Amino acid sequence: MKQGVFITGTDTDCGKTVVSVALIRALRKQGITAAGFKPVAAGARWHDGELRNDDSMALIEACGFDLPYQQVNPYCFEQPIAPHLAARETDQPINMETIRRAFTAVNAAADIVVVEGAGGWRVPLGANWDMQSLAQSLGLPVVLVVGLRLGCLNHAQLSEQVILDSGVELLGWIGSHVDPNMERLNENIASLEACLQTPCLGVIPNPRSNQEISPARPLNLGLLINAK
């Protein structure tokens, strides 16, 4: 079984890495070899002469086996800015074929690859392509991460609609409780379930919050495992 899922989000810092790591760990508990893949990352530090992104490192750690960093994260930029700007400033244009080769190598080592996008669905990667183009090229089903904070109802609906309009398969959405002090948390989750067209596949709680997600919504791996 060689397959994967593309994780996108309503915005930057909406919890994509938290969700991706949680999915990888949950899949491993089911006896499934899962690997993470971060095609493009902007915001990195030097480690032994190599730029490394914290989110990409978290994906590598979660999978539980060694993968070369350059395979997991083929494009890594130091400055935490829009990827197309980072690529322009460093004279490293982002190339789809380079990403495809790295993805193929990671895919060969795992049953399922959890691909984490950068920013939101329409983040530019170059003059004529963006994160949507990348997801379409990889041909993977998509999961939308909704950062649970003020404004998420609008951001989630807009993101879901443009993803559906792009023609890719949208499996559903996962809530990530990024704002520990969010007012009316459970009412907002219920509103998301009512207004979004695709199903809720789980909600990741925030360990720094005293608020309880009620009812609990554990990760639903069924659609992901069975997606073609």
- pLDDT 10s digits, 195-221: 999 999 999 999 999 999 999 999 999
Strand 45-47 versus strand 50-52 pairing type: antiparallel
CB within 8 A of 21, min separation 6: which ones? 36, 58, 59, 62
> Would you give the distance in Å from CA 151 to the centre of its chain?
19
At 64, the amino acid letter reads G
2, 16, 29, 38: the active-site residue = 38
What fold does the segment set 3-226 form as a domain? Answer: Rossmann fold (3.40.50)
- pLDDT 10s digits, 120-152: 999 999 999 999 999 999 999 999 999 999 999
Q: Using an 8 Å Cβ cutoff, are 152 and 173 in contact?
A: no
Q: What is the structure's pLDDT at 226?
A: 74
Domain boundaries, the chain: 3-226
38 classed as catalytic: yes
Q: 111: helix, coil or strand?
A: coil
Q: What is the structure's pLDDT at 225?
A: 76
Q: What is the structure's pLDDT at 227?
A: 62
Q: What is the structure's pLDDT at 201?
A: 97
The model's pTM is 0.96
Please identify every stretch of the chain with a pLDDT value under 50, giving residue numbers as ranges: 1, 228
Q: What is the structure's pLDDT at 223?
A: 75
The CA–CA distances, whole Å, from 5 to 38, 114, 179, 189 equal: 12, 5, 25, 23
> Would you give the distance in Å from CA 202 to the centre of its chain?
14
